[in-house]
Amino acid sequence: MDLVSLRLFVRVIEEGTISQAAVREHIAAAAISRRIAELESQLGTALLRRTNKGVSPTQAGLELLYRARSLLNSVQDIKQHIQGYSQGEQGHVHILANISAITQNLPFLLSDFISKHPSIHLKIEEKNSLNIVYEIEKSQADIGIYTDLPHDANIESSFFCEDTLGLLVPKQHLLSKYDYLYFEECLGFEQIILRSGTQINYQITKVAMAANRSVNIRAEVDSYEAMCLLVNAGMGIGVLPHQSTRTFHIPNTHFIHLKDDWSKRHLLLAVRRKNELSASAKLLLNFLQGDDKNTKHKP
């Protein structure tokens, strides 16, 4: 048996005559008759009752009708599902993102993307920016989102979004009377800092070295949430994006804008090679590069 013969058999039953089925399928009636005769020969039983008014299924023909419809529907489903991979509508995309992206507009963008492409599955891992660029270079993920910082990884990068860094301090802190400061003016105070490998850690360490001083580290943390909670508890001050402070409940804090040039940052999209991406990953990359994303969800 072959799928074409089964499809033609189903069409004959649906139309009631071989001639009408031939019209619908754009094939000669004799060719349909020959295929059905071959089916009957293969199965060793009559499938149709033929009269001058048309045809109707025998009991065996009725059984074949149900099973053939089910099989043909399954085949069509397989075809559509697999074709979805070539069009990017099916598949998995592995994303590495730093905490700045994850705590700002990335979740909203990915939600928009999945609503348009519900059959694409995303795996999202949080990494620091330095790890992201080198893991993308080694093809350990499809797309990376990192904050621009010096590296020698052989990758392709493009603009994702901007964010603005500032200093979060407890409300009763000596610095809480300021709205704008240079980071160097804050070096004498105890700091809650992000782990090494992050762009913020790189920048504040660079400022301290340039001033021939050191960062007064009270605690080193892995997330903005931990930083905000510790600052809110009065343990120290910390540098983080302004947008990220709105994510957490931190009523006992004050945000100070930094006047340093490096406080205005670019977050970048990284891939090893765009032409090596799967269709699904290309769909997501193009979506994240789209002009409309930054107007809908500005950090």
Q: Give the rounded distance of the alpha carbon of 299 from its chain centre.
A: 18
The pTM assigned to this predicted structure is 0.64
Q: Which of 83-87, 117-121, 257-261 has the lowest mean pLDDT?
A: 83-87
Confidence of residue 76 (pLDDT cuts 50, 70, 90): confident
Cα distances from 174 to residues 128, 135, 217, 236, 275, in angstroms, run 31, 42, 17, 11, 53
CA distance 221 to 230: 10
- Express as a percent the part of the chain with pLDDT over 70: 93
pLDDT tens, residue by residue, 117-137: 888 889 999 999 999 999 999
pLDDT at 248: 82
Nearest Cα to Cα of residue 293 among 107, 92, 27: 107
pLDDT at 85: 60
CA distance 41 to 182: 89
CA distance 263 to 200: 9
User: 208 burial class (0-12, 13-18, 19+ CB within 10 angstroms)?
Assistant: middle
Domains in the chain, CATH or no CATH each: 3-86 (1.10.10.10), 91-161+265-296 (3.40.190.10), 163-263 (3.40.190.10)
